[in-house]
Amino acid sequence: MSDVVNLRQFRKQKVVSEKERQAEQNRISFGRTKAEKNLTRALNDKAAKALDQGRLEKTDGHSD
């Protein structure tokens, strides 16, 4: 036979686990020092610049 489950307790536990998951995400996102944020920003800017440098310009192919 199956175990009897109290739905009220199940719902409460689900809410608690969801809040804990969100708290973990917030710790990752907002729990960084200013130096870490600046480093991440600089690395992202460098990657974007390198990507733009390799971009080929699109031409129409029309000669008037």
Residue 63 confidence class, pLDDT cut points 50, 70, 90: low
Q: What is the pLDDT of residue 61?
A: 64
Backbone angles phi, psi at 51, to 5 degrees: -65, -45
Please write the tens of the pLDDT for every residue from 12-38. Answer: 999 999 999 999 999 888 888 899 989
Task: Give the 3-state secondary structure of residue 41.
Answer: helix
3-state helix, strand, coil in the chain (%, to 5): 70, 0, 30
Q: Considering the domain boundaries, does residue 9 fall inside one? A: no
Average pLDDT over residues 29-49: 92
Q: Considering the domain boundaries, does residue 38 fall inside one? A: yes
Q: Considering the domain boundaries, does residue 11 fall inside one? A: no
Quick one: tokens of 50? 């390198």
Show the domain range for 34: 16-48
Q: What is the pLDDT of residue 2?
A: 81
Q: How far apart are CA 19 and CA 25, in angstroms?
A: 10
Q: Considering the domain boundaries, does residue 39 fall inside one? A: yes
Domain count, the chain: 1
Q: What is the pLDDT of residue 60?
A: 72
Q: Considering the domain boundaries, does residue 10 fall inside one? A: no
Q: What is the pLDDT of residue 14?
A: 96
Q: Considering the domain boundaries, does residue 41 fall inside one? A: yes
